[in-house]
Structure 1
Amino acid sequence: MPQPARGRPRTFDRDHALLEAARLFWRRGYSGTSTRDLTAALGVSTSSLYAAFGSKAELFEEAVRTYAERYREIYRQAVAEPEFASVLERVLIDSVDEFTRPADEHPGCLLSSAAMADSTSTLDTHAYFAELQASNEHSLRSRIEQAVREGQLASDVDTGALTGVVQSVWHGLSARAILGTGRADLLATARLAHAVICGGTGASSS
């Protein structure tokens, strides 16, 4: 007679559990979130939690990477656009879309959360987020330099300064989203910034 399968129950929703855990880490950080907090929020036993994710530290790392890597993916897709105006539009508009996802799909902006100041033995969150931001900035600057070479931007554009402007707008949108600014207002800001930057750099915004 076959033995019943061990491990988490069939009704366990791993994606939902990961989202709920990410919400706790977003609000309280790693150290401020206990295993008891996690099991209560996820509605599972400690053994089921460990069976699904290995440990609290591994759950934290997966939650951070799962949601933070979405920002890297936005930049990856944006810099692949053939025209710089479209690159800029995707960086700003797609980021607003990410910042304003419904609460049942996203824990909040992990870059502006308690998780930023916390770490585990396996993931230095400050170093990880610094690397993520540096990677995005490097990708954007390389694409701006390409746009200058290809004549999509004025030849005298300061590529470093332009990268800084775009990143500053991005961080401002993120911060305002955290403070509760609505999607419509954020989109209006992003579109105005897009128009101003394109107008000041010679990029077509059509």
Structure 2
Amino acid sequence: MPQPKRGRPRAFDRDQALLDAARLFWRRGYSGTSTRDLTAQLGLSTSSLYGAFGSKAELFEAAVRTYAERYREIYEQAVAAPDFRTVVERVLIDSVHEFTRPDDEHPGCLLSSAAMADSTSTLDTSAYFAELQGHNERMLRERIEQALREGELSANTDASILTGLIQSIWHGLSARANLGADRADLLATARLGHALICGGAGPSR
């Protein structure tokens, strides 16, 4: 008789495992989450955990990348909007909806959590985070410069300052979501930020 294959059970769900691991990292931080915690939460043996993800650090990196890519997509869709008001609205409003997705779909914003702050051993994750932020900011700035060329913004608007303002609001919304602010509160803040930015000329040079 052929011998049964060994390895992870057929019921293993990688996406669910990443979500469960991300929840632990979000709540306890990177250093505060042990391999034993992860195996208990994911229902895997240590060998299966290593077989699936390589190591705790690699699992953390996979979780960060999985959920961070959603923010890249938000920015990419936002800057494709036909007018600047919609660009700002989509960056802020769509991000709030992502920050506050139900717990069974999203772990919380890992990018502004304590997990990132104490993950000094995962240099690839830190580099990826910096690359992601830089990518999103460049896309946004280029779209603002386009709005300037097309006359949507006053000629004396400083694209760098306006980009920084929008990004500062975005990071503030993310941090407040991690502190437990509810969706309605965050949406109200995002809409006020949108109104203040788009209600008049952008920040001047």
Normalising to structure 2: TM-score of the pair?
0.90
Q: Which string of whole-angstrom CA distances, capped at 9 and with x for unpartnered residues, describes residues 116-155 of structure 1?
A: 1233666443333222222211111111001110122222
**Which amino acid in structure 1 is aligned with residue 60 of structure 2?**
F
Aligned residue pairs total: 202
State how 1:123-202 maps to structure 2 within 5 Å. Answer: 123-201=123-201
The letter of the residue matching 1:58 is: E
Q: Could you give the per-residue CA deviations for residues 2-40 of structure 1, whole angstroms, max 9, x where no partner exists?
A: 332321111122111111111122233333222111101
Q: How does 1:7-18 map to 2 (within 5 A)?
A: 7-18=7-18
Q: In the alignment, does 2:102 pair up with 1:102?
A: yes
Is contact 1:21–1:42 with CA below 8 Å preserved after alignment? yes
Q: CA deviation at 1:56?
A: 2.0
Deviation at 1:174, TM superposition (A): 1.2
RMSD: 1.8
* Alpha-carbon shift at residue 182 of structure 1 (Å): 1.2
> Deviations along 1:138-190, whole A, 9 cap, x unmatched?
11111100111012222221111111211111112112212221111111111
The residue identity in structure 1 corresponding to 2:38 is: L
The percent of aligned pairs where both chains have the same amino acid is: 80
TM-score, normalisation: structure 1: 0.90
Q: 1: distance between equivalents of 2:5 and 2:106?
A: 32
Whole-angstrom CA distance in 2 between matches of 1:48 and 1:111:
27
1:178 maps to a residue whose letter is: N
Whole-Å separation in 2 of the counterparts to 1:126 and 1:11 = 32
* Residue ranges of structure 1 left out of the alignment (5+ in a row): none
Moved more, 7-16 or 123-132: 123-132
